[in-house]
């Protein structure tokens, strides 16, 4: 690091007059922090910090200031101790280990002020954008939006898998499956399809009604909801302990065992769908 005091007098040991402004030029080859401590040599009076841990975020030439002597400044020689910390180490000043700069103060009439220091460069668009998104409020809003997006994605995936799983259940016998024996009766669904009843008994449940019900209503139907039995020419229906019961012509038959069926009877499992029984 190279450091030099800039005043109107110039020279290796410059002179500061009265209340004139002066600057400290620093040439650094790495970002770091500068420490400047002022003291008058040959006295026991304590000095004071002119700069304590000022950050210089870029390498290159820096002009610190302006500085102005106070009204109580003592005339004569003064000393500045400079320390620069960068790259995890203290740097030497002016290629010397003394780390000191001297100047003389005189209360005489100040000379013409030095040239105006270069203006501070305005931060660019990228820096302003980073500063905006680094604020706690914006970070909080972004984090909340991310959590909401993840929650919606998980809900969508769960509902889609549930629907695919339900639709993937294949009824044991449906209207589009060729029965192994002639049907003796059928149960008509509201969408025009039918569940054919070729054997002596048939269990009806969620998989049989999946195509005629929405997802919310389908959850009301038990996996094995009710059973239709045939005994000679007579048919019977029995609720199989379903969670939401079964209505036959408007009456709940849950827990009543087998109940007789006749052509045209209305069956309503869980009151979620209306089915009609027909003898063929």
Mean pLDDT within 85-110: 71
What average pLDDT is seen over the chain? 82
Q: What is the pLDDT of residue 175?
A: 42
Nearest CA-CA partner of 85 in 65, 108, 110, 55? 55
Tell me the C-alpha distance between 224 and 248, whole Å: 17
Mean pLDDT within 121-130: 75
Asked if the model's pLDDT at residue 81 lies above 60, the reply is yes
Give the total residue count for the chain.
280
Question: pLDDT digits over 131-158, tens only?
Answer: 777 788 878 888 888 899 999 999 988 8
Q: What angle, 0 to 180 degrees and rounded to 10, lies between the N-to-C axes of helices 125-133 and 136-168?
A: 70
Within 10 angstroms of residue 199's Cβ, the number of other Cβ atoms is 15
Nearest CA-CA partner of 183 in 171, 194, 197? 197
Q: Which residue has the tokens 């030029």?
A: 25
Task: Say which range, 45-49, 66-70, 105-109, 227-231, has the weakest mean pLDDT.
Answer: 105-109
Q: Grade residue 176 by pLDDT with cuts at 50, 70 and 90.
A: very low
Asked if the model's pLDDT at residue 247 lies above 60, the reply is yes
Q: What is the pLDDT of residue 110?
A: 52
């Amino acid at each position: 690091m190279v450091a030099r005091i800039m005043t109107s007098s110039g020279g290796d040991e410059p002179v500061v007059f009265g209340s004139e402004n002066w600057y400290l030029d620093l040439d650094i080859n790495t970002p770091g922090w500068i420490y400047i401590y002022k003291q008058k040599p040959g006295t026991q009076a304590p000095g004071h910090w002119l700069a304590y841990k000022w950050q210089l975020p870029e390498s290159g030439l820096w002009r610190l200031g302006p500085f102005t002597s106070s009204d109580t400044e003592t005339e004569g020689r003064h000393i500045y101790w400079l320390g620069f910390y960068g790259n995890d180490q203290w740097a030497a000043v002016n290629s010397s280990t003394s780390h000191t700069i001297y100047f003389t103060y005189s209360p005489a009439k100040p000379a013409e002020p030095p040239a105006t220091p270069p203006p501070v460069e305005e931060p660019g668009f990228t820096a302003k954008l980073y500063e905006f998104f680094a604020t706690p409020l914006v970070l909080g809003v972004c984090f909340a939006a991310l959590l909401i997006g993840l929650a919606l994605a998980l809900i969508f995936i769960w509902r889609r898998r549930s629907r695919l799983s339900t639709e993937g259940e294949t009824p044991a016998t449906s209207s589009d499956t060729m029965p192994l024996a002639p049907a003796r009766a059928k149960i008509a669904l509201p969408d025009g399809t039918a569940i054919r009843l070729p054997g002596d008994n048939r269990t009806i449940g969620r998989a049989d009604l999946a195509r005629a019900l929405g997802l919310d209503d389908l959850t009301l139907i038990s996996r094995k909801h009710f059973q239709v039995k045939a005994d000679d020419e007579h048919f019977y229906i029995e609720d199989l302990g379903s969670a939401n019961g079964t209505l036959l012509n408007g009456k709940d038959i849950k827990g009543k065992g087998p109940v007789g069926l006749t052509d045209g009877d209305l069956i309503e499992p869980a009151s979620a769908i209306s089915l009609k029984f027909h003898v063929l």
